[in-house]
């Protein structure tokens, strides 16, 4: 008979008076132990079990039923149904499986009970006080929850990656928001899954550098393209977290979005250097820029102009219409002036006083041209609070280094020139030097006369024929002429730049186009007509709309109109110019590149836009007979045109030898005095079919 069978037998002999069998606890015993028989009766328990539940030995009788034991035990616990618990324990034992349940006592202690079946149908029940462990677990959970809360609520993005594959192991909410992804979805992702390739290349390369170094690294500021916030400026620091073996276990990246901070700093810096009313640079910014301009001009031995501007009749506007109207006038005037800068520096020093620092260049021509544009910009009416107001502009100009080599001297002389302009009646431009002032007055007078000539249609068009190499005339180029009523014929090279600087080229160009189209539409022979366009026309107004309107009004077939442009059209704003050229070509007109070979990027332009023709500048043609380099250039351009399937026109053909050279090189078309000089169209009446059949060949020595 086993020991356990002896115990059970003794319990069966006397279940009323014997003390419950107990086993003394060893010093290290921490478990309460209770053994029950197959009949669900108490076999034995240890002292720790008795003390654990606050019972006495006299309460626990050998042979007590499980339900009776539970009834005693639950009196001090939070259990309320010992019968239900007994059924659950017995059911688990009968099925041969262990069962575990947690009991919480009234005093807060937590007991873990494990029931382990024995082969004979009884079971051993162990009871462990897990209060401290549960408390520690709860504290750990609370600490982890607190840490998670802190990490998720700090604005800095945190990314934890494994050092092998550099994939995310942890990301906080700020990081997930930045990448527009859930934290769960981000786990396991690499930079290539979350960022554009070029940015992912940058980030991954930096990660590997930091891992190789094994130390922290500050990457500084760099741009990151995010899915919903666009480009963001991030300040990033990376830290290698070593494992127990000293090798990298994690790579921690901390990234702060500094975009808004940078913008705020830029706004503050902008406010410190800009006028709050007009948003132009203020006096502080002007002083800094003037010092810079002086230093740079001294180093490069260049000249620049200093313009002192003052609005005429501004005080009258303030007095008559109030300061609000005066402020609006200053805002509108500032915008008009700023539009004319083209690289110059404009500042408002206060009131109606403005200063301009021109770009370095040919002086006094550059300063005078800018002053002319500024005067023109303010000539029109200002619409303010329902009132049409008009102000003028007085300008004083001083030049470095002639009028001063330091800031105080240059400023004083520009101011003196402005004072002289005001004394002489306002609305004028005065240079500090008298001879320059004289030339400027003449230029302004010519601009005034040109405006009148345009308004009164006092200009005329001359037409220069163009012919193929076999002598057949194919069209004319329309050229504007101005016969001044006092000064006589004014060369186009003189008045066209004035028209471009003053903005008069817009109405002048419109008149030339319409007049040329009207004339060509009247010819019995459908010859082509070529019209030059100015770069200014591409920057202002609706050029395609104007051309379309001219074609509709005159009835000229679009394919007969050829528009000639120079590289100047493309240099300032290439994308805008190409867009306008495409709209023009969509109308059915042809586009020719004029003065080809004189610029530095013609080949790139030919590649970017499908021109219909290129014209060799006359400077190369005139030197054919005495300059081998010119002959080589002309030969190369003709070859280029042949390779691109573009017709080539040679301008400025004046001799039979030049024509023979071009014929040998298979040039497509020619134009010049040898073919025909510019004349009123009446001179070429026969060619256009008005009087008799026109000749089909170019006469020798024409």
Residue 101 has a pLDDT of: 86
Residue 439 has a pLDDT of: 62
pLDDT band at 6 (very low <50, low <70, confident <90, very high): very low
Instruction: Kindly report, residue by residue over 656-672, the tens digit of the pLDDT.
Output: 999 999 999 999 999 99
CB atoms closer than 10 angstroms to residue 658: 21
Given a cut of 80, whether residue 94 has pLDDT beyond it is yes
The rounded distance, in Å, linking the Cα atoms of 60 and 15 is 11
Instruction: Kindly report, residue by residue over 582-630, the tens digit of the pLDDT.
Output: 999 999 999 998 888 665 556 777 777 889 999 998 888 988 878 888 8
Same fold for the pair 3-129 and 154-262 = yes
Q: Which residues contact residue 491 at a Cβ distance below 8 angstroms, ignoring those fewer than 6 apart?
A: none
Q: For the chain, give percent helix, strand, coil, nearest 5.
A: 45, 25, 30
Given a cut of 80, whether residue 384 has pLDDT beyond it is yes
What is the three-class DSSP state of 509? Answer: helix
Instruction: Kindly report, residue by residue over 102-154, the tens digit of the pLDDT.
Output: 888 888 888 999 999 999 999 999 999 998 888 888 888 877 777 777 777 77
The rounded distance, in Å, linking the Cα atoms of 460 and 437 is 31
The rounded distance, in Å, linking the Cα atoms of 303 and 440 is 18
Q: Which residues contact residue 196 at a Cβ distance below 8 angstroms, ignoring those fewer than 6 apart?
A: 225
Given a cut of 50, whether residue 541 has pLDDT beyond it is yes
pTM of the predicted model as reported, rounded to 2 decimal places: 0.45
Residue 434 has a pLDDT of: 59
Instruction: Kindly report, residue by residue over 252-271, the tens digit of the pLDDT.
Output: 888 888 888 888 887 888 88
CB atoms closer than 10 angstroms to residue 342: 12
Instruction: Kindly report, residue by residue over 160-210, the tens digit of the pLDDT.
Output: 888 888 898 888 888 888 888 888 888 998 889 888 888 888 888 888 888
Domain 3-129, what fold? Beta-Lactamase (3.30.450)
The rounded distance, in Å, linking the Cα atoms of 177 and 189 is 15
Q: Is domain 454-616+677-684 annotated with CATH 3.20.20.450?
A: yes
| Range from 62-71, 124-133, 693-702 carrying the lowest mean pLDDT | 693-702
What is the three-class DSSP state of 157? Answer: strand
Residue 79 has a pLDDT of: 53
**What residue ranges do the domains of the chain occupy?**
3-129, 154-262, 274-432, 454-616+677-684
> 31-36 and 123-129: which strand pairing?
antiparallel
Q: At 518, list the tokens.
A: 């009207």
Q: Which residues contact residue 387 at a Cβ distance below 8 angstroms, ignoring those fewer than 6 apart?
A: 321, 325
User: Residue 147 class from Cβ within 10 Å (0-12 exposed, 13-18 middle, 19+ buried)?
Assistant: exposed
Q: Please report where in the chains the tokens 């066209």 appear, as a residue.
A: 496
> 561-565 and 590-596: which strand pairing?
parallel
pLDDT band at 15 (very low <50, low <70, confident <90, very high): very low
What is the share, in percent, of the chain residues with pLDDT greater than 70?
Answer: 90
Give CATH for domain 154-262.
3.30.450.20
Q: At 272, list the tokens.
A: 């410190």
Tell me the residue length of the chain.
Answer: 702
Instruction: Kindly report, residue by residue over 411-442, the tens digit of the pLDDT.
Output: 988 988 888 888 677 788 988 865 544 565 67
Domain 274-432, what fold? Alpha-Beta Plaits (3.30.70)
Average pLDDT score over residue span 334-343? 92
């Amino acid at each position: 008979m086993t020991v356990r069978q002896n115990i059970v037998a003794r319990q069966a002999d006397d279940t009323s008076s014997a003390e419950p069998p107990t086993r003394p606890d060893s010093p290290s015993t921490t478990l309460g132990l209770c053994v029950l028989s197959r009949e669900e009766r108490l076999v034995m328990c240890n002292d720790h079990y008795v003390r654990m539940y606050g019972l006495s030995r006299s309460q626990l009788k050998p042979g007590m039923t499980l339900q009776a034991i539970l009834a005693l035990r639950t009196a001090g616990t939070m259990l309320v149904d010992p019968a239900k618990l007994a059924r659950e324990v017995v059911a688990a034992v009968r099925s041969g499986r262990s069962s575990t349940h947690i009991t919480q006592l009234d005093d807060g202690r937590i007991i873990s009970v494990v029931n382990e079946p024995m082969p004979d149908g009884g079971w051993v029940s162990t009871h462990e006080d897990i209060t401290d462990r549960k408390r520690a677990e709860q504290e750990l959970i609370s600490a982890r929850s607190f840490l998670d809360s802190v990490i998720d609520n700090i604005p800095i993005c945190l990314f934890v990656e494994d050092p092998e594959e550099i994939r995310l192991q942890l990301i906080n909410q700020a990081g997930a928001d930045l990448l527009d992804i859930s934290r769960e979805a981000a786990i396991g992702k690499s930079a290539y899954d979350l960022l554009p390739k070029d940015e992912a290349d940058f980030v991954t390369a930096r990660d590997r550098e930091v891992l190789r170094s094994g130390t922290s690294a500050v990457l500084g500021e760099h741009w990151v393209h995010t899915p919903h916030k666009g480009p963001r400026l991030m300040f990033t620091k990376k830290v290698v977290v070593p494992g127990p073996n000293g090798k990298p276990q994690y790579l921690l990246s901390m990234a702060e979005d500094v975009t808004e901070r940078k913008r705020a700093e830029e706004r503050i810096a902008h406010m410190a250097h800009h006028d709050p009313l007009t948003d132009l640079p203020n006096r502080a910014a002007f002083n800094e820029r003037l010092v810079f301009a002086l230093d740079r001009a001294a180093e490069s031995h260049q000249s620049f102009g200093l313009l002192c501007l003052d609005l005429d009749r501004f005080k009258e506007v303030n007095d008559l219409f109030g300061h609000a109207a005066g402020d609006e006038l200053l805002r509108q005037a500032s915008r008009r002036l700023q539009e004319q800068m083209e690289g110059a520096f404009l500042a408002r020093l206060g009131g109606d006083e403005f200063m301009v620092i021109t770009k370095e260049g040919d002086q006094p021509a550059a300063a005078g041209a800018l002053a002319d544009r500024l005067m023109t910009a303010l000539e029109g009416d200002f619409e303010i609070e329902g009132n049409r107001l008009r102000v003028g502009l007085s300008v004083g100009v001083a030049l470095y280094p002639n009028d001063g080599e330091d800031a105080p001297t240059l400023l004083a002389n520009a101011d003196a020139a402005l004072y002289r302009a005001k004394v002489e009646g306002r609305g004028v431009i005065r240079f500090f030097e008298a001879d320059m002032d004289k030339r400027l007055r003449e230029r302004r007078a010519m601009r005034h006369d040109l405006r009148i000539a345009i308004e009164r249609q006092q200009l005329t068009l001359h037409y220069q024929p163009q012919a193929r190499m076999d002598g057949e005339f194919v069209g004319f180029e329309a050229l504007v002429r101005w016969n001044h009523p006092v000064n006589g014929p004014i060369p186009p090279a003189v008045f066209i730049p004035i028209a471009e600087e003053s903005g008069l080229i817009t109405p002048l160009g419109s008149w030339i186009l319409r007049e040329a189209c009207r004339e060509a539409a009247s010819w019995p022979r459908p010859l082509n007509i070529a019209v030059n366009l100015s770069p200014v026309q591409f920057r202002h107004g609706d050029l395609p709309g104007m051309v379309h309107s001219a074609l509709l009004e005159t009835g000229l077939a679009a394919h007969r109109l050829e528009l000639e442009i120079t590289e100047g059209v493309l240099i300032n704003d290439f994308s805008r110019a190409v867009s306008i050229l495409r709209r023009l070509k969509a109308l059915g007109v042809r586009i020719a590149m004029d003065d080809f070979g004189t610029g530095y990027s013609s080949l790139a332009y030919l590649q970017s836009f499908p021109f219909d023709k290129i014209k060799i500048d006359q400077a190369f043609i005139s030197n054919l007979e005495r300059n081998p380099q010119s002959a080589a250039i002309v030969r190369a351009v003709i070859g280029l045109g042949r390779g691109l399937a573009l017709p080539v026109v040679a301008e400025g053909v004046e001799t039979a030898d030049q024509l023979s050279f071009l014929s040998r090189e298979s040039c497509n078309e020619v134009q010049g005095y040898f073919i025909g000089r510019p004349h009123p169209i009446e001179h070429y009446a026969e060619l256009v079919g008005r009087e008799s059949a026109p000749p089909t060949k170019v006469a020798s020595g024409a």
